[in-house]
Chain A
Amino acid sequence: MRIKTSILFLFIIFSAVSHLFSQGTGSLSGTVVDSKTGESLFGANIMVQNTQRGTAAGPGGHFKIEYLTPGVYALTISMMGYEDARKDNLQVYPDQETYIKIELKPTVIEQPAIIVTASKRKQRIEDAQTSVDVIGIRDIQSKSVVNLDQVIQYVPGVSIIDGQVDIRGSTGFNWAAGSRVLVLVDGHPLINGDTGGISWDVIPPDEVERVEIVKGAGSALYGSNAMAGMINIITKDPLPDPQTRIKLSWGFYDEPAYPEWRWSDRFYTYKISNLNEYSPLNTLSFESVDFTHSRRIGKVGLHLALGRRTSRGYHQNGDYNRWNVLLKTKIRFSPEKTLAIAGHWALDDHGDVLQWESIENPLKVPDTELGNRVRNEKANLHATFKNSLSPVWYYTVKANIFRVDWKNEFQDNQDYAVTDRYGSELQFDHFRGQHAFTFGLETIFQHTNSIFYGDHDTRSFAIYGEDEVKFSKLWTFTLGTRYDYHQVLNISTGQQLSPRLGIVYKPSKKTSIRGSAGYGFRAPSIAEIFADITVSGIRVIPNFDLTEERAWNFELGIRQQLVNTKPKKNSEEDLLKSWLTRNLNPQIMVDLSVFASRYKNMIDVDINPEISVSEVQFQNLGRAKNQGVECRIQGIFFNGGFSTQVGYTVIDPINLDTGKMLNYRSRHRLTAGFELRWRNLTLGYNYRYASRAEEIVNLLGSAFDERVPMHVSDCRLLYQWKNYQIGVEGKNIRNYNYTLRQKFLEPIRHFVFTFRAKFD
């Protein structure tokens, strides 16, 4: 109640101040359209030069930027799939509206030019001081996935083990407890309050507009968990015109690579050999149904998504049954004053597998685990209110609640945990001359009620500020810090200062050189401190002395675009060049990074030799370091007809106390892929490689070393006809058997058929 009253009070105060600031100002308005078709461009980004103030085009491509001090302005306009445009010498008069029409030329580059995560506000991707990758809507929808992490694992330098994100070797496998990467949904944390893990199933992949992946320390703005990076999932906004979408998918698992691994007579080819018994519905299949409706009623936009996913699984206990509901509303009081409220609910009832039965039967589970299930329910509600106080002052108020309720239905335990996480944040953005200030404060309260964590409350409070200074067109400096105070009630308190320094040098429009140094930290999660549980014979014991881990992160990088300039018409230049530029039309981006991290009190799960080798504990390991190089090349040719991407990362993560490599890290990683588009057909191929993990925690006393390098190949074929799309995708088409954690075989070859329809 007190929180609600405070937020209401803030709204009233800021609305009043905002009205006062608006006296004697002018505005810029206009329309953004496609230069070829004349179609309005909903969602185009419009930014006021030097002030970095901006807005997004609404329905009909209309936009309006109010409360501008009279004077001369320049606008830059950008949108994914279009070349950037610039409008200079726009005169704004007191109490008048200046109207302009903007035409954007289509391009084949699909990387969004504007990002919002790296600095907690809109900025161009080449202005970011750390490496940023963006997964666009096309990449998400071209792959049939159940959870979004299955798309993110294609990003160079990023890997996922059992839902846990590892950026450039920052994380190994911690049994889903704790995350060194902060995952956000529309800027709100999606970190479970108890385990500190990530609930990927809360967000249906098809409802995501784009995903921004920031590599490097982000604690200076985001605090705990962001010590190795952030992943911000931007969900789709309600559409201006009514639209309904349906997606149906069905797939099945192929035979295991070795006949002796069959554990069920429901494998596809097994049934084929007995045609009389064969039924597609009787195989080890999986299916999903998604329904989405989006519309706007007056100023209120509504976006509703319902989904259900079921699977029989490719191994024993591998089945799941999931439901999803997403409701997002966005009220656009004015182009700069918006209120977005989103609610997500997910129910997941799945079989649980800790380890396989044996290497002779890796798709079976031990009898002691047969029938083990986990049922969890998650509810996430968040609200974001944005407004401006004046042409140079903005503020954002955020509030969020995230509940995770899960229960084990195991043979040997019926444990449960219910955790509520309440967060609120007030952020200001101020633009003054060449300075862009971002500062704010954030509070988080968590309450956990669990049979094996006990009842615990945690509180944290933070204040942060960062200044970005553009000394010239060439140089941009960023300096910021954040102070965090966090408390585990009746147990411990801690505080942390996380500074960050960044430099961006742009010697040309196509070249961006960046450097950053940042200090990050992560407070241990409730599970890491209090977990007291025995699962399938492994006992996890609490560690009340566990303290926060800290790390310095450094990065140097260069981003170079090689964009072809089209030749003049009727040019008599070299014929080959002419053909190349007109037809091949190569557009290439190269990004090279050198990075290093130094950890202190790194938290990792380990056997505790002082207690027992069959008991494990989360411990502060001591000092560790990690360094490496990452290279990414992205190319688009034939006017978008062919695109390809190659990313390679090499790391050297070392525990400085033992001299050994950190657990569950692959020294080499490679991702590569291409997409070929011809008329209505799209053919895609992706490949992922990770070298064998050199060190693991031998928790389960395995007599068999199952570690192998990872080679996974996927391919897909899509056909688009008007508002309908059908697709078939083969995943792990080489049927390669590998593990990412001990005694758990990752998905074998499977095929997915998808049908999408859109009704306007």
Chain B
Amino acid sequence: MQRKNQNNKNQTTLFKNIIYLFAFFTALLLIQNFGCYKGHGISPPQGVSLIRGKITFTGTPPDSTKEVWIAVLKKYPSGIDDTNQLFLFVLSNLVISDSIPSNVPEYDYELEIKPGQYEWVLVVWFPDIEDYLFGAKELGAYYFNPDDPLPTPIDAPRNEILEGIDIIADFGNVNNEEPFYKKTQ
């Protein structure tokens, strides 16, 4: 009799534990869903940064010029001599300018970008051909010290203006075989 009572007690405890287990899971679910994560996941980037500078054009724009853009890129390509390198980056429409005038000796630009670090600010030339994106060439990039082998990275501050990002754009570079000009070559 005592053993039977003990069995009953054990079973009752088991059922109680089952209820507690599922109550725990349900509570976990509700807490997780309504308490632990805030917001709506991906959100629009808050704030912008403004970069300003002067583009000095040298040489004569070729007749085959279609457009010239300013591009601001997160990463500088490392060790890849790629005919379509620029094209990949211009796909990211967050970091390119509208077409800028190219038949002027100098052009003061202002570009709104997302705050953050960028390794490459450059001027890109596009030929007037059907697949013009594939014919992109670098005219020049931002170098704080002209003797530096690599373009100078910038750190665009949120809601502030970063000035002095000057670039020398040489139309002679459109004749380069490589799409972007590397000083190390």
A258 within 8 A of B: yes
A609 within 8 A of B: yes
Residue of A nearest to B87 (CB): A614
Known contacts: A537-B87, A613-B88, A702-B92. The answer to whether A711 contacts B29 by CB under 8 A is: no
Interface string of A342-369 (1 = CB under 8 A from B): 0000000000000001111010001000
Option from B11, B26, B89 in Cβ contact (under 8 Å) with A701: B89
Option from B8, B83, B95 in Cβ contact (under 8 Å) with A577: B8
Interface string of A693-708 (1 = CB under 8 A from B): 0000000111110101
- B94 near A734 (CB under 8 angstroms)? no
B76 within 8 A of A: no
The minimal Cβ–Cβ distance linking A340 to chain B, given in whole angstroms, is: 41
- B80 near A613 (CB under 8 angstroms)? yes
- B74 near A612 (CB under 8 angstroms)? no
Residue of A nearest to B14 (CB): A562
The residues of B that contact A537 with a CB separation of less than 8 Å are 87-88, 91, 133
A609 to B85, CA, bound (A): 11
- A703 near B41 (CB under 8 angstroms)? no
A734 to B32, CA, bound (A): 12
- A738 near B12 (CB under 8 angstroms)? no
Segment from B15-23, B62-70, B142-150, B162-170 that makes contact with A: B15-23
A738 to B43, CA, bound (A): 9
A706 to B43, CA, bound (A): 9
**Beta-carbon contacts under 8 Å, B15-48 to A:** 15, 18-19, 22, 25-26, 29, 32-33, 37, 40-45
The minimal Cβ–Cβ distance linking A223 to chain B, given in whole angstroms, is: 38
- A366 near B12 (CB under 8 angstroms)? no
- B93 near A357 (CB under 8 angstroms)? yes
Segment from A178-186, A440-448, A517-525, A580-588 that makes contact with B: A580-588
Interface string of B70-82 (1 = CB under 8 A from A): 0001100100101
Known contacts: A577-B8, A588-B18. The answer to whether A359 contacts B92 by CB under 8 A is: no
The minimal Cβ–Cβ distance linking B60 to chain A, given in whole angstroms, is: 29
B3 within 8 A of A: no
Known contacts: A577-B12, A612-B84, A613-B80. The answer to whether A260 contacts B91 by CB under 8 A is: no
The minimal Cβ–Cβ distance linking A673 to chain B, given in whole angstroms, is: 8
Known contacts: A357-B93, A613-B88, A644-B25. The answer to whether A734 contacts B40 by CB under 8 A is: yes
- A260 near B26 (CB under 8 angstroms)? no
A29 within 8 A of B: no
- B44 near A360 (CB under 8 angstroms)? yes
The residues of B that contact A637 with a CB separation of less than 8 Å are 22
**Beta-carbon contacts under 8 Å, A720-739 to B:** 734-739
**Beta-carbon contacts under 8 Å, A549-587 to B:** 562, 573-574, 576-577, 580-581, 584, 586
A102 within 8 A of B: no
- B40 near A737 (CB under 8 angstroms)? yes
How many positions in chain A have a CB within 8 Å of any CB in the partner chain? Answer: 54
A672 within 8 A of B: yes
The interface centre, meaning the residue of B11, B89, B95 with most chain A CB atoms within 10 A of its CB, is: B11
B9 within 8 A of A: yes
A580 to B15, CA, bound (A): 7
- A573 near B8 (CB under 8 angstroms)? yes
B54 within 8 A of A: no
- B91 near A700 (CB under 8 angstroms)? yes
The residues of B that contact A687 with a CB separation of less than 8 Å are 29, 32-33
Option from A359, A702, A710 in Cβ contact (under 8 Å) with B44: A359
A666 to B11, CA, bound (A): 40
The minimal Cβ–Cβ distance linking A635 to chain B, given in whole angstroms, is: 6
The minimal Cβ–Cβ distance linking B146 to chain A, given in whole angstroms, is: 27
**Beta-carbon contacts under 8 Å, B98-148 to A:** 114, 133
The residues of B that contact A701 with a CB separation of less than 8 Å are 88-89, 91-92
The residues of A that contact B37 with a CB separation of less than 8 Å are 709, 711
- B85 near A614 (CB under 8 angstroms)? yes
A95 within 8 A of B: no
A381 within 8 A of B: no
Residue of B nearest to A733 (CB): B33
Closest 4 CB pairs of A and B: A257-B40, A614-B88, A737-B41, A614-B84
**A-B CB contact pairs (8 Å), 6 listed:** A261-B44, A574-B9, A577-B15, A612-B84, A612-B85, A689-B32
- Which residues in A have some Cβ–Cβ distance to B below 8 Å? 257-258, 260-261, 357-360, 362, 366, 537, 539, 562, 573-574, 576-577, 580-581, 584, 586, 588, 609, 612-615, 633, 635, 637, 644, 646, 672, 674, 687, 689, 700-704, 706, 708-711, 713, 734-739, 745
